[in-house]
Amino acid sequence: MSSCLGNVFRVSTWGESHGGAVGVVIDGCPPRVPLSEADVQVELDRRRPGQSDIVTPRKEPDTCKILSGVFQGQTLGTPICMMVANTDTRGSDYDAEVYRPSHADFTYDAKYGIRNHEGGGRASARETIGRVMAGVVARRALQTLLPSCSIEVVAYVESIHEIRAKAETLEKVTRHSVETTPVRCPDPEAAERMISLIEKTKGDSLGGIIGCVARNVPAGWGEPVFDKLEADLAKAMMSIPATKGFEIGSGFLAPTMLGSQHNDAFEMEGNRVTTRTNNSGGIQGGISNGMPITMRIAFKPTATISVPQDTVTSAGEAVTYTGRGRHDVCVLPRAVPIVEAMTWIVLCDHALRQRAIEY
């Protein structure tokens, strides 16, 4: 079990879906960063179950409590522990013996020889509460350290099942355009169709793609050859439950382009080096180049469905299983703040690592 991410800005999440609480410890946050429970709550509310009609009705107020590391509204430079109590747990919805298909029941048993079968335990998306809380700290830290560079991270639902947002709505995506609809797709027309699809897919589930752009990241962040910026972003995103693929810049389109099409010509914009195109996705050789960092992350359809499925028990018996519990038909709207949080966490860690060696 390794629940720690980052080198200088280190994030450790803890907690099971149906235990006493879930939370996070952040070690390595710079001191004197303004931080309050209210700041954190804003993002928790974007991830929260029950926030709209298209997400799980599980009722959790998900109230942030800061236990350490903050004094009179500012970080101390010491570890920040934050938690959210689990209140609405219904462990009885779960069956201790059955391996739910495409869940982590079997693999946790294979690895640990024990698991908390009340909910997904540690594999539940509830673990991501700690990530979202850490993301707020990372964002605040970057804004405090680099007040003039106004880094901006915006994630959005690009597609759900076969419904895709129009490309032109994605290029100029803003937090505001994302928050306009509960499905968090900046194309209002596509959003409406997505919502209809979610509503009529009760019982089964839907996947999709989340896009994310980080703007105004300074050139020079990323630590080749293994901690390249895109490598750490890939790891961060692929550690989110239900992700199956990651792209930076041109992604899986790159293979079909010629070098003469794909190369991003450099040009000057005043005193600043920029590129005419951005197939690189803002990163070259593992280091940010100052252009927007563009990513796409593939999410599989939620594993919990109420369609009967073939499976086995821990005793090796074949059974038919039908999901109970209260789950999302489509997790993407709630995953948007998680993708943003992971981006902030990786950026903050790399910003601090670069500060360590630059002079």
Residue 224 binds a copy of itself, judged by CB under 8 A:
yes
Q: What is the dihedral of CA 1, 243, 310, 17, to 10 degrees?
A: 50
Shortest Cβ 56–a copy of itself spacing (Å):
14
CA distance 220 to 349: 13
CA distance 184 to 158: 9
Query: Which lies closer to a copy of itself via its Cβ, residue 175 or residue 312?
Result: 312
3: nearest Cα among 15, 20, 21: 15
Residue 232 binds a copy of itself, judged by CB under 8 A:
yes
- Phi and psi torsions of 357, nearest 5°: -110, -5
Among 104, 338, 341, 347, binds a copy of itself (CB under 8 A): 104
CA distance 354 to 96: 47
Residue 337 binds a copy of itself, judged by CB under 8 A:
no
Among 110, 150, 179, 322, binds a copy of itself (CB under 8 A): 110
Contact 158, 211 (CB under 8 A): yes
299: nearest Cα among 190, 161, 163: 161
Residue 160 binds a copy of itself, judged by CB under 8 A:
yes
Shortest Cβ 144–a copy of itself spacing (Å):
8
Among 161, 175, 215, 326, binds a copy of itself (CB under 8 A): 161
Edge-first strand listing for the sheet containing 21-27: 4-5, 10-15, 21-27, 80-85, 65-68
Query: Which lies closer to a copy of itself via its Cβ, residue 175 or residue 239?
Result: 239
* Footprint (CB under 8 A) of a copy of itself, residues 7-66: 7-8, 10, 12-16, 19-23, 25, 27-32, 65-66
Shortest Cβ 341–a copy of itself spacing (Å):
13
Residue 148 binds a copy of itself, judged by CB under 8 A:
no
Shortest Cβ 5–a copy of itself spacing (Å):
4
Burial status of residue 287 (CB atoms within 10 A of its CB: 0-12, 13-18, 19 or more): middle
Query: Which lies closer to a copy of itself via its Cβ, residue 58 or residue 164?
Result: 164
Stretch near a copy of itself under the rule CB under 8 A, chosen from 40-48, 53-61, 185-193, 224-232: 224-232
Residue 67 binds a copy of itself, judged by CB under 8 A:
yes
Stretch near a copy of itself under the rule CB under 8 A, chosen from 47-55, 170-178, 187-195, 275-283: 275-283
Question: In 10 A of CB 261, how many CB atoms?
Answer: 11
CA distance 3 to 8: 15
Contact string 72-101 vs a copy of itself (x = CB under 8 A)? --x-xxxxxx-x---------------x-x
328: nearest Cα among 196, 199, 162: 199
Residue 198 binds a copy of itself, judged by CB under 8 A:
no
Cα dihedral across residues 216, 219, 220, 222: positive or negative: positive
* Footprint (CB under 8 A) of a copy of itself, residues 286-305: 286-290, 298-305
Shortest Cβ 333–a copy of itself spacing (Å):
14
